[in-house]
């Protein structure tokens, strides 16, 4: 049995991912958790607090994910391919709801720049981790550029797949990313 607070944050993450932050209300979370609206507001006085908690938990998940990849994978190449495999594995959700990281940043970037500063930290985690892997076989500046390029491909695939509600777009782009990664390694 987990505490109310964690239940609320889980529901908030899901609802924000599926409907966006602006279309997420206390009433929605109350309905989804079965708790009263006042209870949600006892734990999170302001709506912004709810978002910060949801982002914090997601950041924690990403940290653990990247750590486990670093341990599991042998070479830097395998690590980066693991990232691509993650994108491909989530093809269905990406086509249905977009990327949880990208779509949240897009929404908050429009008119909640202060909150977006926090959401951007998710991008930082992935980018710095990818850059560190690329640095095993590339100079610093090139490693940075390659990490950025891979993230651009992943985000672009998510946007297009979501627009067309077509998970095959993600799978096609994952294949292209693998070929690209292979070529990048060859050239080094």
Residues that bind its own copies (CB under 8 A): 18-20, 22-23, 97-98, 102-103, 105-107, 109-111, 113, 116, 119-120, 123, 145, 148-149, 151-157, 159-160, 162-165, 169, 172-173, 176
Quick note: the x/- pattern for DNA over 43-82, rule CB under 7 A, is x-xxxx----------------------------------
Interface residue with DNA, options 2, 38, 74, 141 (CB under 7 A)? 38
Least distance to DNA from the beta carbon of 117, Å?
Answer: 18
Q: Which is nearer to DNA, 46 or 71 (CB)?
A: 46
> How far apart are CB 172 and its own copies at their closest, in Å?
7
To its own copies, the closest distance from the beta carbon of 94 in angstroms equals 11
Q: How many CB atoms lie within 10 A of CB 110?
A: 10
Given a contact cutoff of 8 angstroms between Cβ atoms, the answer to whether 127 and 66 are in contact is no
- Given the complex with DNA, which of 27 and 145 has the nearer CB atom? 27
* Distance from C-alpha of 80 to C-alpha of 73, rounded to nearest angstrom: 9
Pick between residue 114 and residue 141 the one whose CB is nearest to DNA.
Answer: 114
Site for DNA contains 118 (CB under 7 A) = no
**Whole-number Å distance between alpha carbons of 181 and 85:** 12
What is the rounded distance in angstroms from the CA atom of residue 130 to the CA atom of residue 127? Answer: 5
Is the distance from CB of 126 to CB of 115 less than 8 angstroms? Answer: no
Task: Return the beta strands (E) in the chain as ranges.
Answer: none
Q: Which is nearer to its own copies, 73 or 86 (CB)?
A: 86
The tokens describing 178, both together, are: 């693998």
As a 3-state breakdown, the chain gives helix, strand, coil percent values, each rounded to 5, of: 85, 0, 15
Q: Which of DNA, its own copies, none is residue 38 near (CB under 5 to 8 Å by kind)?
A: DNA
Which ranges of 73-139 does DSSP label H, i.e. alpha helix? 76-89, 91-97, 100-111, 113-134
**Site residues, DNA (CB under 7 A):** 4-5, 24-28, 35-39, 41-43, 45-48
């Amino acid at each position: 049995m987990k505490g109310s607070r964690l239940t609320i944050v889980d529901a908030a993450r899901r609802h924000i991912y599926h409907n966006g932050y602006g279309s997420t209300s206390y009433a929605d979370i109350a309905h989804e958790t079965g708790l009263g609206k006042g209870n949600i507001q006892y734990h999170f006085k302001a709506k912004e607090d709810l978002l910060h908690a949801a982002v914090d938990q997601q950041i924690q998940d990403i940290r653990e994910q990247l750590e486990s990849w670093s341990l599991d994978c042998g070479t830097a190449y395998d690590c980066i391919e693991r990232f691509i495999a993650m994108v491909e594995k989530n093809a269905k959700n990406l086509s249905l709801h977009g990327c949880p990281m990208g779509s949240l940043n897009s929404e908050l970037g429009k008119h909640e720049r202060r909150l977006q500063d926090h959401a951007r930290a998710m991008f930082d985690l992935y980018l710095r981790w990818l850059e560190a892997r690329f640095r095993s076989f590339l100079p610093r500046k090139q490693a940075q550029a390659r990490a950025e390029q891979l993230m651009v491909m992943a985000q672009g695939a998510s946007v297009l797949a979501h627009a067309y509600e077509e998970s095959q777009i993600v799978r096609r782009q994952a294949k292209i990313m693998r070929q690209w990664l292979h070529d990048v390694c060859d050239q080094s």
